[in-house]
């Protein structure tokens, strides 16, 4: 019996990782972020288009990774770009993951302070969260995968339960007219919705661990498809209940929506606690995987053990998480990270794939 | 520009906190670095065999002297000297009083050696040559089922102490015949009181490994049941048996179990509980990673799933590995009843497990932190009943929970009638009085009671204990962070379970990794007609249960 830690990932485990990674802050903020740009009720179309773009980028990434079997991005970037340039790129990617993980932490703390724990200091919440995350991360990728699989059904069940409840305040008229101002506004929103799909880039690393890398395409399509469904549902129920104008003025529209639903008679009167619970779980998964991937970047670039870098990154992530002074700066940072991701993982892979093909053709 | 950067520079506080972030887990993990099950180096070289040296000479007086020296002053060794048949050939039978079967020795061994041998002399004198050899005795005289020969004093001693008798002959070879006269004090195989079912076989194991393996054999006669015997314990040697079904169980698993057991170097192993703790994967985990049971049917069905059973002489508790959390919430009765009640009861148990772990912590977080989340009317009535309570909710819960745990511990060891009285006194009187006195609120008593009942609904006692421990940790998390703390604790718990393995099988299987095949026997107990395969997680050699 193999008692080693690292098992290879099945396709469906890969799907779980991608899905859990993508689902994060988006559930709470996506409707507003998109509504600000689109300004018509057609947000859900923007989300679908954003999802399609993400899928396309995901497929490119898979193609790239399949060129280098059993190697993660951190390893083959040096094959493609040479040692120093590859190393530099790796560091940038690591920086991206560190920033993303910090954003998750900080967003979690902000939402908590706003809705659950008013007087509790941020540092206490963030530190406790990081320790729990660290406990999981030192278990390696297989423990992370198992946790993701464990949490995912809980999330989905509770999410759709809440979505079902919001039907009570749902008004189809808020979603009309469809394409009232044409496709223009929809496309304007695509950029901000595409940001919410940040997370598919994990395929740069996962393909190397997959038992059957040929099915990576399928994994990435499903892995993005599930969040598309959840995001579209979120957008429909939020816009349907609060209307576009209502959504724009709210920081966390989804929570506001759930707060407004009342089901007297059942044990709870308000259900935002349930939503916050699953949302925190999703933030946890995103935080854990970004922390792990960032540490893996260091470990593989320098060909060292993983564990010291896991330790090293903890204070870094913590400090970055506390950098933004207020919530607007947090959103700015989040946007910056998203845009960086767009460049790093949508355009760059195409370039790299081109170079790899050229080089591969030559040798 | 510079100002913006400066305003964002982390303060000393943040840097200090960042240090704490990394320092605490680092120190903790340094302290716990030895918790994982380390693969021991291959078991040490067998103690040097002394084969050539012979302690016995074949001269009775000398040999007896040897044995007496070995035993020293111990009084309970019995040496019976006699002459074989009518001859003058000296012989001696040695046994230890009490643990040997006297009836067998008197009626069959001594009688046949003294009387029957003499009787046989008259008829078949030509066959008997004097002095009588051991071979002749073994072939024609000794009507005993188990016989073996040893030639070292130390071996004679262990055999005698196990209840066997030793026969020595004068003028013979240097070996001593050991006769199987061990007497076992056993009880009948009744229903174990710790695992009672409404429906199902009433068979349980007892303290004799012989009886236990017999029970297994009877139930698995056609099933290629393999029982491997190992002796464990350095000072007090005991029989241990590893049972598995040859063409079902994974060979690597069997080998792993064997290795781990052979690595045990303890001088005395009292119970399988010792073995459980010595071979489990992670000794810091609150969860039992090996299932122990007294029920025969549980072990047999575990064997059929491709698991391995470990039996030890002297205890009715049999271990089965690997174990997952799901197994601890199952009862054999789930399969004896029809599938619909079986399924519902299982769902109920999962719910009970959840309540018994998170009940009080949710109470604390809603009462102390998020009053807004409970319905207004309920919140008002709670506030009303709590108005006289002088403690924060954590202290309130702790008082009642600790009192209840003490009550449970006290009731456990008392004779049944008194135990019930204690339950009434403790549960009703103290609870009622505590409310009257204004120490706790009535709702609190309800929460504690429901939690306690839930933890009784868990079929395995040790799994219930694990959840009870976790309940207290959850309460502290809730007292610090409210609902957020409960979520954190849930994530911590899930992380721990995700990391935990039991003999190579993830502890949370079959929940994760997703295997639809195995989910037929998870929260839902599918109709038997559909359960055609053995659990995939056990990596069995022979996956088909029925066509």
On chain A, the residues whose CB falls within 8 A of the CB of B496 are 135
Q: CA nearest A271 in B: which residue?
A: B373
Measure in Å the smallest separation between the Cα of B341 and chain A Cα atoms. Answer: 24
Q: Do B369 and A116 touch (CB under 8 A)?
A: yes
Q: Do B18 and A318 touch (CB under 8 A)?
A: yes
Encoded tokens for A5: 């830690």
Q: Do A120 and B481 touch (CB under 8 A)?
A: yes
pLDDT in tens, B91-103: 888 888 888 888 8
Q: CA nearest A326 in B: which residue?
A: B8
Chain A within 8 Å of B258 (Cβ-Cβ)?
no
Of B422, B406, B402, the C-alpha closest to B414 is B422
Are A254 and A238 in contact, with CB atoms under 8 Å apart? yes
Are A291 and A313 in contact, with CB atoms under 8 Å apart? yes
Q: What pLDDT is stored for residue B438 in this prediction?
A: 84
The number of folded domains in chain A is 1
Q: How large is the C-alpha radius of gyration of chain A?
A: 20
For A230, A275, B403, B533, the CA distances from A165, given in Å and listed in that order, are: 15, 12, 41, 39
Neighbours of B38 (CB within 10 A): 8
Of B406, B408, B401, the C-alpha closest to B474 is B401
Q: Do B482 and A13 touch (CB under 8 A)?
A: no
Chain B within 8 Å of A146 (Cβ-Cβ)?
yes
- B295 with B355, same domain: the answer is no
Neighbours of B340 (CB within 10 A): 11
Chain A within 8 Å of B512 (Cβ-Cβ)?
yes
Residues 19-38, chain B, touching A (beta carbon < 8 A): 19-22, 24-26, 29
Measure in Å the smallest separation between the Cα of B8 and chain A Cα atoms. Answer: 6
In a domain, residue B195? The reply is no
**What gap in Å lies between CA B321 and CA B308, rounded to an integer?**
5
- B314 with B344, same domain: the answer is no
The DSSP string of A255-284 is HHHHHH---TTSS-S--HHHHHHHHHHHHH
Q: CA nearest A317 in B: which residue?
A: B18
Are A79 and A86 in contact, with CB atoms under 8 Å apart? yes
Query: Which residue among A123, A134, A284 places its CB closest to the CB of B25?
Result: A134
Which residue of A128, A259, A265, A328 is the best one to mutate when testing the B interface, meaning the one whose CB has the most B CBs within 10 A?
A128
In a domain, residue A277? The reply is yes
Is the pLDDT score of B502 beyond 80? yes
Is the pLDDT score of A255 beyond 90? no
In a domain, residue A96? The reply is yes
Chain B within 8 Å of A145 (Cβ-Cβ)?
yes
Per this entry, what is the length of chain B?
Answer: 547
Q: CA nearest B23 in A: which residue?
A: A311
Chain B within 8 Å of A129 (Cβ-Cβ)?
yes
**What gap in Å lies between CA A126 and CA A297, rounded to an integer?**
23
Residues 295-334, chain A, touching B (beta carbon < 8 A): 311-312, 314-316, 318-319, 322-323, 325
Q: What pLDDT is stored for residue B180 in this prediction?
A: 82
Which residue of B6, B25, B367 is the best one to mutate when testing the A interface, meaning the one whose CB has the most A CBs within 10 A?
B25
Residues of the domain holding A304: 11-330
Q: What pLDDT is stored for residue B42 in this prediction?
A: 47
Question: Residue A264: pLDDT band by 50, 70, 90 thresholds?
Answer: low
Measure in Å the smallest separation between the Cα of B482 and chain A Cα atoms. Answer: 7
Of B197, B195, B528, B534, the C-alpha closest to B338 is B528
pLDDT in tens, A101-113: 999 999 999 989 9
Q: What pLDDT is stored for residue A1 in this prediction?
A: 33
pLDDT in tens, B155-175: 788 888 878 888 888 877 778
Query: Which residue among A127, A139, A269 places its CB closest to the CB of B21?
Result: A127
CATH assignment of the domain containing A258? 1.20.1740.10
- B354 with B495, same domain: the answer is yes
On chain B, the residues whose CB falls within 8 A of the CB of A127 are 17, 20-21
On chain A, the residues whose CB falls within 8 A of the CB of B491 are 132, 136, 147, 151, 281, 284
Q: CA nearest B539 in A: which residue?
A: A1
**What gap in Å lies between CA A60 and CA A62, rounded to an integer?**
5
Q: What is the average per-residue pLDDT within B472-497?
A: 93
Q: Do B21 and A128 touch (CB under 8 A)?
A: no
Chain A within 8 Å of B370 (Cβ-Cβ)?
yes
Give the SS3 label for residue B480. Answer: helix
Beta bridge partners of B293: B318
Q: What is the average per-residue pLDDT within B237-263?
A: 89
pLDDT in tens, A274-296: 888 889 999 999 999 999 999 99
The number of folded domains in chain B is 3
Chain B within 8 Å of A84 (Cβ-Cβ)?
no
- B492 with B345, same domain: the answer is yes
Residues 6 or more apart in contact with residue A196 via CB below 8 angstroms: A22, A25, A26, A30, A33, A47, A50, A227, A231, A338
CA–chain centroid gap for B386, Å, is: 44
Is the pLDDT score of A184 beyond 70? yes
Which domain-ending residue is among B159, B179, B199?
Answer: B179
Residues 311-330, chain B, touching A (beta carbon < 8 A): none
Q: CA nearest B503 in A: which residue?
A: A3
On chain A, the residues whose CB falls within 8 A of the CB of B484 are 112, 116-117, 125, 280
- Which residue's entry shows tokens 């193609």? A63
In a domain, residue B139? The reply is yes
**What gap in Å lies between CA A354 and CA A361, rounded to an integer?**
10
Q: What pLDDT is stored for residue A7 in this prediction?
A: 67
- B358 with B402, same domain: the answer is yes
Which residue of A112, A129, A315 is the best one to mutate when testing the B interface, meaning the one whose CB has the most B CBs within 10 A?
A315
- B375 with B316, same domain: the answer is no
Is the pLDDT score of B124 beyond 60? no
Chain A within 8 Å of B369 (Cβ-Cβ)?
yes
In a domain, residue B193? The reply is no
Is the pLDDT score of A95 beyond 90? yes
- B121 with B78, same domain: the answer is yes
Of B228, B76, B292, B14, the C-alpha closest to A325 is B14
- B355 with B443, same domain: the answer is yes
Which residue of A137, A147, A324 is the best one to mutate when testing the B interface, meaning the one whose CB has the most B CBs within 10 A?
A147
Of A240, A157, A200, the C-alpha closest to A51 is A200
- B348 with B462, same domain: the answer is yes
Q: What pLDDT is stored for residue B221 in this prediction?
A: 67
Highest mean pLDDT among A119-123, B107-111, B482-486: B482-486
Backbone angles phi, psi at B232, to 5 degrees: -120, 165
Q: What pLDDT is stored for residue B28 in this prediction?
A: 86
Are B17 and B261 in contact, with CB atoms under 8 Å apart? no
Are A177 and A45 in contact, with CB atoms under 8 Å apart? no
Q: What pLDDT is stored for residue B410 in this prediction?
A: 82
**What gap in Å lies between CA B340 and CA B337, rounded to an integer?**
8
In a domain, residue A359? The reply is no
- B344 with B474, same domain: the answer is yes
Q: What pLDDT is stored for residue B126 in this prediction?
A: 52
Q: What pLDDT is stored for residue B118 in this prediction?
A: 67
The answer to which of A2-16, A135-149, B347-361, B438-452 has the lowest mean pLDDT is A2-16
Question: Residue B123: pLDDT band by 50, 70, 90 thresholds?
Answer: low
Is the pLDDT score of A81 beyond 60? yes
Q: What pLDDT is stored for residue A144 in this prediction?
A: 92
Give the SS3 label for residue B231. Answer: strand
Of A36, A21, A90, A3, the C-alpha closest to A291 is A21
Measure in Å the smallest separation between the Cα of A280 and chain B Cα atoms. Answer: 8
Residues of the domain holding B121: 60-179
Mean pLDDT of chain B: 83
Is the pLDDT score of A4 beyond 60? no
- Which residue's entry shows tokens 């504690």? B448
On chain A, the residues whose CB falls within 8 A of the CB of B487 are 277, 280-281
Q: What is the average per-residue pLDDT within B226-250?
A: 87
More confident residue, A231 or B152: A231
- B295 with B214, same domain: the answer is yes
Q: Do B18 and A125 touch (CB under 8 A)?
A: no
Q: CA nearest A135 in B: which residue?
A: B495
Chain B within 8 Å of A264 (Cβ-Cβ)?
yes
In a domain, residue A157? The reply is yes
* pLDDT above 90 as % of chain B: 20
Q: What pLDDT is stored for residue B411 in this prediction?
A: 79
- B256 with B213, same domain: the answer is yes
Encoded tokens for A230: 């959840």
In a domain, residue A2? The reply is no
Q: Do B498 and A273 touch (CB under 8 A)?
A: no
Q: What pLDDT is stored for residue A6 in this prediction?
A: 55
pLDDT in tens, A47-57: 899 899 889 99
Backbone angles phi, psi at B506, to 5 degrees: -55, 135
Q: Do B22 and A315 touch (CB under 8 A)?
A: yes
CA–chain centroid gap for A209, Å, is: 20
Give the SS3 label for residue B537. Answer: helix
On chain B, the residues whose CB falls within 8 A of the CB of A134 are 25
Query: Which residue among A132, A143, A273 places its CB closest to the CB of B498?
Result: A143
* Cβ density class B359-392: b for 16+ within 10 Å, e for less: bbbbbbbbbebbeebbbeeebeebeebbeebeee
Measure in Å the smallest separation between the Cα of A354 and chain B Cα atoms. Answer: 37
pLDDT in tens, B272-286: 999 999 998 888 899
Q: What is the average per-residue pLDDT within B117-143?
A: 68
Are B286 and B298 in contact, with CB atoms under 8 Å apart? no
Chain B within 8 Å of A119 (Cβ-Cβ)?
no
Query: How many A-B residue pairs are in contact by the CB < 8 A criterion?
Result: 140
Question: Residue B121: pLDDT band by 50, 70, 90 thresholds?
Answer: low
**What gap in Å lies between CA B25 and CA A127, rounded to an integer?**
11
Give the orientation angle of helix A216-248 with respect to helix A43-66, to 10 degrees: 150
In a domain, residue B526? The reply is no
Chain B within 8 Å of A6 (Cβ-Cβ)?
no
Beta bridge partners of B147: B179
**What gap in Å lies between CA A247 and CA B162, rounded to an integer?**
83
In a domain, residue A3? The reply is no
More confident residue, A154 or B58: A154
Residues 11-70, chain A, touching B (beta carbon < 8 A): 12-13
Q: Do B484 and A318 touch (CB under 8 A)?
A: no
**What gap in Å lies between CA A345 and CA A56, rounded to an integer?**
11
């Amino acid at each position: 019996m193999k008692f080693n830690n690292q098992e290879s990932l099945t396709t469906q485990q890969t799907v779980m990782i991608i899905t859990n990674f993508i689902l994060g802050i988006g559930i709470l903020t996506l409707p507003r972020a998109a509504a600000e740009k689109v300004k018509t009720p057609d947000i859900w179309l923007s989300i679908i288009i954003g999802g399609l773009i993400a899928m396309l980028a995901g497929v490119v990434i898979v193609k790239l990774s399949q060129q280098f079997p059993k190697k993660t991005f951190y390893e083959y970037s040096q094959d493609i770009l040479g040692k120093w340039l590859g190393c530099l790129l790796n560091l940038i990617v690591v920086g991206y993951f560190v920033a993303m993980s910090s954003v998750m932490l900080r967003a979690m703390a902000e939402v908590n302070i706003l809705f659950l724990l008013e007087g509790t200091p941020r540092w206490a919440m963030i530190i406790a969260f990081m320790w729990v995350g660290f406990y999981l991360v030192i278990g390696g990728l297989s423990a992370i995968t198992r946790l993701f699989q464990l949490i995912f059904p809980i999330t989905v069940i509770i999410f759709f339960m809440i979505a079902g409840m919001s039907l009570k305040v749902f008004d189809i008229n808020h979603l009309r007219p469809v394409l009232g101002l044409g496709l223009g506004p929809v496309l304007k929103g695509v950029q901000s919705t595409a940001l919410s799909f940040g997370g598919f880039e994990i395929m740069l690393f996962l393909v190397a661990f997959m038992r059957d890398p040929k099915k990576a395409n399928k994994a990435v399509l499903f892995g993005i498809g599930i969040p598309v469904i959840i995001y579209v549902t979120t957008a429909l129920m939020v816009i349907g209940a609060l209307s576009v104008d209502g959504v724009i003025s709210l920081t966390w529209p989804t929570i506001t929506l759930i707060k407004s639903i009342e089901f007297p008679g059942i044990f709870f009167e308000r259900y935002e606690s349930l939503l916050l619970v699953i949302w925190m779980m999703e933030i946890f998964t995103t935080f854990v995987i970004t922390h792990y991937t960032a540490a893996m970047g260091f470990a593989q670039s320098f060909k060292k053990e993983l564990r010291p870098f896991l330790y090293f990154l903890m204070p870094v992530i913590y400090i970055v998480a506390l950098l933004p002074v207020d919530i607007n700066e947090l959103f700015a940072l989040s946007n910056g990270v998203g845009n960086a991701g767009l460049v790093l993982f949508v355009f760059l892979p195409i370039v790299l794939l081109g170079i790899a093909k050229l080089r591969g053709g030559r040798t | 520009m510079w100002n913006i950067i400066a305003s964002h520079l982390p303060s000393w506080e943040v840097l200090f906190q960042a240090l704490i972030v990394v320092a605490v887990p680092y120190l903790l993990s340094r302290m716990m670095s030895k918790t994982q099950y380390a693969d021991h180096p291959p078991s040490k070289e067998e103690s040097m065999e002394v084969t050539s040296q012979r302690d016995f000479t074949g001269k009775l007086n000398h040999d007896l002297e040897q044995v007496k020296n070995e035993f020293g002053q111990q009084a309970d060794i019995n040496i019976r000297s006699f002459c074989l048949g009518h001859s003058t050939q000296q012989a001696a039978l040695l046994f230890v009083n009490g643990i040997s079967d006297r009836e067998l020795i008197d009626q069959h061994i001594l009688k046949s050696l003294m009387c029957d041998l003499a009787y046989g002399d008259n008829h078949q004198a030509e066959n008997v040559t004097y002095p009588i050899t051991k071979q002749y005795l073994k072939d024609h005289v000794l009507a005993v089922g188990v016989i073996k020969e040893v030639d070292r004093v130390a071996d004679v001693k262990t055999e005698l102490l196990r209840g066997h008798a030793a026969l020595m002959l004068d003028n013979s070879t240097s070996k001593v015949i050991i006769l199987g006269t061990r007497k076992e004090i056993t009880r009948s195989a009744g229903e174990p009181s710790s695992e009672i079912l409404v429906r199902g076989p009433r068979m349980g194991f007892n303290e004799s490994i012989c009886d236990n393996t017999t029970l297994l054999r009877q139930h698995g006669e056609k099933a290629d049941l393999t029982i491997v015997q190992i002796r464990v314990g350095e000072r007090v040697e005991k029989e241990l048996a590893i049972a598995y079904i040859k063409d079902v169980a994974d060979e690597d698993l069997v080998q792993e179990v064997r290795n781990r057991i052979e690595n045990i170097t303890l001088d005395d192993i009292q119970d399988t509980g010792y073995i459980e703790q010595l071979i489990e994967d992670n000794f810091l985990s609150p969860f039992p990673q090996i299932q122990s049971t007294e029920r025969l049917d549980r072990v047999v069905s575990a064997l059929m799933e491709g698991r391995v059973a470990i039996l030890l002489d002297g205890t009715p508790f049999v271990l089965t590995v690997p174990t997952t959390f799901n197994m601890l919430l199952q009862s054999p009765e789930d399969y004896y009843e029809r599938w619909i009640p079986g399924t519902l009861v299982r769902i109920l148990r999962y719910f009970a497990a959840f309540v018994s772990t998170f009940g009080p912590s949710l109470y604390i977080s809603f009462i102390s932190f998020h009053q807004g989340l409970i319905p207004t009317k309920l919140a008002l009535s709670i506030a009303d009943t709590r108005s006289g309570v002088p403690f924060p909710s954590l202290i309130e819960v702790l008082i009642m929970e600790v009192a209840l745990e003490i009550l449970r511990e006290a009731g456990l060891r008392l004779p049944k009638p008194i135990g019930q009285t204690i339950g009434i006194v403790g549960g009703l009187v103290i609870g009622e009085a505590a409310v009257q006195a204004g120490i706790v609120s009535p709702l609190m008593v309800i929460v504690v009671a429901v939690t306690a009942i839930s933890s009784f609904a868990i079929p395995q006692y040790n799994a219930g204990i694990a959840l009870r421990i976790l309940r207290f940790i959850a309460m502290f998390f809730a007292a610090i962070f409210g609902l957020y703390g409960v979520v954190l604790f849930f994530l911590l718990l899930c992380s721990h379970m995700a990391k935990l393995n039991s003999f190579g099988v993830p502890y949370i299987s079959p929940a994760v990794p997703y295997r639809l095949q195995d989910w037929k026997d998870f929260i839902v107990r599918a109709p038997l007609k559909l359960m055609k395969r053995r659990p995939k997680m056990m990596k069995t050699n022979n996956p088909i249960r029925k066509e």
